[in-house]
């Protein structure tokens, strides 16, 4: 007789029957659906959105930031409970919806010093923060939109 069965009797056996064997779940078990807002009017940002879509994230919807009601939106945004994450931190939180390997990468990316350095690198070498709410966009996002004066 095993230790749990000796200590807890029938309640333990009932629990073990229903729980089944322990195993590492590689894909996330997400109870609440989340949204990652990505600027499809920016070619590089749209590529990030497509990258997430190709990995079939669990419980994560990729939506155009241009449709956001937030006029101050300037970066990729992960509007979670409370204060939304923006930029590199938003991408880090969204990575948790792919699998455990990407969760670990996202966790490291969201660490305070790492996220500040990564955001600085993205701002220097990638798409800069810009206002995107209300801009027209092409779903394929092949070319950035031109502003009409």
Supply the pLDDT for residue 104: 94
Write phi, then psi, for 19 (nearest 5 degrees).
-80, -35
Q: Are 52 and 59 in contact (CB under 8 A)?
A: no
Q: Are 68 and 41 in contact (CB under 8 A)?
A: no
Supply the pLDDT for residue 142: 39
Supply the pLDDT for residue 10: 83
pLDDT in tens, the chain (149 residues): 466 667 777 887 777 777 767 666 777 777 778 999 998 888 888 899 999 999 999 999 999 888 888 777 878 889 876 788 889 999 999 999 999 999 999 999 999 999 999 999 988 887 777 777 666 665 444 344 443 43
């Amino acid at each position: 007789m095993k230790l749990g069965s000796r200590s807890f009797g029938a309640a333990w056996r009932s629990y073990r029957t229903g729980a089944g064997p322990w195993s590492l779940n590689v894909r996330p078990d997400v109870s609440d659906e989340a949204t990652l807002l990505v600027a499809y009017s920016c070619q590089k940002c749209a590529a990030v959105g497509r990258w997430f879509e190709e990995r079939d994230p669990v419980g994560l919807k990729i939506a155009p930031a241009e449709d956001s009601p937030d006029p101050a939106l300037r970066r990729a945004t992960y509007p979670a409970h409370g204060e939304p994450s923006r930029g590199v931190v938003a991408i880090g939180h969204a990575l948790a919806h792919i699998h455990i390997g990407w969760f670990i990468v996202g966790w490291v990316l969201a660490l305070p010093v790492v996220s500040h350095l990564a955001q600085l690198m993205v701002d220097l070498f990638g798409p800069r923060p810009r206002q995107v709410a209300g801009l027209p966009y092409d779903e394929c996002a092949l070319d950035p939109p031109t502003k009409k004066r």
